[in-house]
Amino acid sequence: MRKLWEKSLVALFCLYNTYNINPNENLAFYFLTSIIFSLALDLFDKKRIKIIGYTLFLILCFSNTLFVFYLPLILYNMYIDFGLYILFTLPLMLMDFSSMNFFVSIVSVHIAAMTKKHNIILDENKIVRDELKEDTLYLEKYNEQLKIDREKNIQIAILTERNRIARELHDSIGHGISSSILQVEALKVISTEDKILKRLDILQDTLKNGMEDIRKSIHNLYNESLDLKNQIEKLSSQTPAIDVELIYRVEDDLSYDLKFDILSVIREGITNCVKHSNASKLKITLLDQPKFYTIIIKDNGSNFNKEALLSNKGIGLISIKEIAYKHNGLVNYTFDEGFKIHLTLMKG
């Protein structure tokens, strides 16, 4: 809009100057021709085409000197495109020199220079604004990831403390009860009274039951962690618009850290399906292979936002790659009849 107003002002000065010098000529023809050339130069971006346009107008100036009075309008475009190369056009003004025309040319070039500088500043501001917006989104994602990692570390600390308590129970109370059971058994051997033997049998059974309860508690403390299959099913139920099929064939007792990483991958896969695809079905497969674990997440979507999904600033796929690297694994993704993530995590 700024260029339009500035060029309109220059065109009016050119028309006024032409009328003062040649009031009897058909000024509308020269005016409209110059306007068409000026607008055409704004439409094309390729410099080769613009050079042809400038050359044609210069030829018109040589053929009819009245076009020289509209040279300030063309100089406006020429300065924006080629800068100080406009100095080569100055000899044209000598063909039919007018001080007013020379002054308008200087004003036109000055306005063009200010506009060019203004556009450069605007472009730089847009780049900075876009970078700030991208960095803000990245920081938001990064903060979310930090929050997840913090929760993960808290859970790991809790499990570590539980394991410590379990070891202490096993080493102290467990051994004490085991010793008591053996001592009761020894008393039964040396005792001859039926009444005492009956009491010792009850005491021994009570100690054995207590020992069994402690063993179960210790086992639960050692193995208590997030239920991976249950958590995946819970995530799937949170997206009722998508039919989620889960194939879970993992027999090994996974570490909490590995379970958390697998759950993070599946959470990201579901998020990608919801945000960047029009899928109605999603298939999640977890397989226990001899040397590694396989995770496959595939949807049936067809309308993907690939640019957002594969963005370098995006945390999603980057996080999955980091998890694969952490467990010495590999990750691949394809857009063949839906979006598919294939991840392998090595054992050990």
Res 314: pLDDT: 46
Query: Exposed/middle/buried for 343, CB within 10 Å: 0-12, 13-18, 19+?
Result: buried
Answer yes or no: is pLDDT of 309 > 60.
no
Instruction: Provide the mean pLDDT of the chain.
Output: 78
How far is residue 342 from each of residues 46, 113, 265, 287, measured CA to CA in Å?
44, 55, 11, 11
Q: Is the pLDDT assigned to residue 118 strictly greater than 70?
A: yes
Q: Which fold has domain 228-346?
A: Heat Shock Protein 90 (3.30.565)
Question: Model confidence at 297, in pLDDT bands (50, 70, 90)?
Answer: very high
Distance CA 295, CA 233 (A): 15
pLDDT value at 268 more than 50: yes
Higher-pLDDT residue of 291, 8: 291
pTM of the model: 0.43
C-alpha span between 97 and 21 (Å, rounded): 11
Residue 174: pLDDT band (50, 70, 90) is: low
CB within 8 A of 266, min separation 6: which ones? Answer: 232, 235, 284, 295, 297
Over residues 254-276, the mean pLDDT reads 82
Confidence of residue 94 (pLDDT cuts 50, 70, 90): low
Encode pLDDT of 127-160 as tens digits.
Answer: 999 889 888 888 887 888 788 778 767 767 776 7
Using a pLDDT cut of 90, give the percent of the chain over it. Answer: 6
What are 290's two structure tokens? 């001899």
Give the pLDDT mean for 225-231.
75
Residue 221: C-alpha distances to residues 159, 229, 257 (Å): 8, 19, 16
pLDDT at 99 over 80: no
